[in-house]
């Protein structure tokens, strides 16, 4: 597995903790957490500053994205991220949805973006399963 820089965007502190701990269990240590789509976008947009600060740990190459968030939700994030990818060197960065939603409608809407590679339903995947999914999309 190549080095994974993970970015978790979720408004639930506990869900971030759970995913973060699962990622650590499978050996991913470069993890950044953001509590809203807006915070996630700001983080990516401050590209030069973060690159300088974090070095190889930036930019993230996998973003775990929640859907229901108060300020900028997952779908709004995807739309804005599309523009941001071209602006910065984020073309190798892919997204894995991380949501409680099991609705096909939400899955279809997310998969409409070419950079969305998988859809993890919260509470349904073990650390090992997440590892397999990551391996699969790399």
Partner 1 sequence: MNISRKLMIIVVLTIFEISLTLFSMFEILQGAKFHQLNMLHLKYISEFSEQVMLTDDVDDLDTEKLRKTIYDIRQQPIDCLAQINGIEKFIMRRIGTYEAIELCEKDIVDANEGLKLIDSFVRNEISWQEFFVKLGSVSNILNQNSIDFEEPIVKTVEFIFNAMVPLVVIISIINIIFITYLSKNITGSINKVIALLSRENTNEAIDETISRNVSGEIKELLVVAGARLKEELVKTEINQKLELLVEQRTESLTKANDELAQFAYRMSHDLKAPLTSAKGLAQFVVQDIGEENFGEASENSVKIVSQMEKLERLIISVLALNDPEPKPEETSLVDMESVLSNVRENNAELLKENQCQFSGEANVEGDVQTNEKSMTLILDNLVSNAAKYCDKNKDFQFVKIIINEQKFDYSIRVVDNGLGIPEERLSEVFQMFKRFHPNVSFGSGLGLATVKKHVDYLKGSISLESSTKGTTFIITLPKEDTV
Residues that bind partner 1 (CB under 8 A): 11-12, 14-15, 17-18, 21, 35-36, 68-71, 100-101, 103, 122-123
User: Of 94 and 131, which has the nearer Cβ to partner 1?
Assistant: 131
Three-class secondary structure of residue 109 per DSSP: helix
Q: Tell me the closest approach of the beta carbon of residue 130 to partner 1, in angstroms.
A: 12
C-alpha torsion angle, residues 70, 96, 125, 130 (rounded to 10): -140
Taking residue 43's Cβ as centre, other Cβ atoms within 10 Å add up to: 19
User: Of 109 and 122, which has the nearer Cβ to partner 1?
Assistant: 122
Q: Tell me the closest approach of the beta carbon of residue 127 to partner 1, in angstroms.
A: 10
Q: Cβ neighbours of residue 123 under 8 Å, at least 6 residues apart?
A: 100
DSSP state of 90: -
Q: Tell me the closest approach of the beta carbon of residue 77 to partner 1, in angstroms.
A: 15
User: Of 10 and 118, which has the nearer Cβ to partner 1?
Assistant: 10
């Amino acid at each position: 597995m190549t080095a994974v820089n993970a970015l978790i965007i979720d408004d639930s502190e506990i869900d971030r903790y759970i995913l973060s701990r699962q990622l650590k269990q499978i050996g991913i240590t470069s993890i950044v957490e953001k509590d809203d789509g807006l915070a996630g976008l700001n983080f990516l947009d401050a590209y030069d500053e973060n690159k300088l600060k974090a070095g190889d740990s930036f930019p993230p190459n996998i973003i775990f994205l929640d859907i229901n968030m108060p300020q900028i939700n997952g779908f709004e994030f995807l739309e804005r991220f599309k523009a941001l990818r071209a602006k910065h060197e984020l073309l190798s960065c892919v997204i894995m949805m991380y949501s409680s939603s099991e609705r096909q409608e939400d899955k279809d809407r997310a998969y409409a973006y070419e950079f969305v590679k998988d859809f993890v339903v919260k509470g349904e995947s073990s650390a090992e399963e997440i590892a397999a999914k990551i391996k699969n999309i790399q």
